[in-house]
Amino acid sequence: MNHTAKHARTGKFAIGLFVVLALLWAMLSGMPKALLIALGVVSVALVTWIAVRMNNVDGYHAPLLPGLFGLVGYTLWLTKEIVIANLQVAKLIIAPKLSLHPTMITVDASELTELGQVIYANSITLTPGTVSLFIRDGRITVHSLIEEAADGLHEGSMLNKVKTLGPSVIEGDESN
């Protein structure tokens, strides 16, 4: 990547981070007084400067704004999946005869970056009835209480949803 493109990407990152942090600060502060607003701007600018300096050291970051709509869609989808899985687990607990079929499976996540693999593993763990045990060599080992949950992971719908979060989670995609 040439020098100009790197500065442009860093500038977009800094502006996006500043905007997101400022909006978050404004929503959480609840006190629109001049001194607090000034302190908020200073703290947001300081955090943005530190983040940009850190990016210059390691050269890796996840873009904030390009994947924002994908993140909202993914969060809504994951919430729906969590509710469905909760109902399945509750049904197993309430049922007079429990039909638990615990199983250990390994799912391939080698198409994802480290960030994507962590998001995928955490999403699996957030879904009741499944726990990600570890990530090794692009594969996630999962314990599942019921076979349907394991089958769902093998189908790859959650993996495909993680990929909708954008180029920062897909291995080999240099467009971020």
Segment 144-170, tens digit of pLDDT? 988 888 888 889 889 998 888 877 777
Tell me how far CA of residue 171 lies from CA of 42, 45, 57, 174, in angstroms: 36, 31, 21, 8
- Residue identified by tokens 């703290």 is 43
Residues 45-70: pLDDT tens digits?
999 888 888 765 445 555 545 566 77
Please report how the helices 68-94 and 114-126 are oriented relative to each other, as an axis angle in degrees rounded to 10.
Answer: 30
What is the number of other CB atoms lying within 10 angstroms of the CB of residue 167?
Answer: 17
Residues 111-126: pLDDT tens digits?
998 888 999 999 999 9
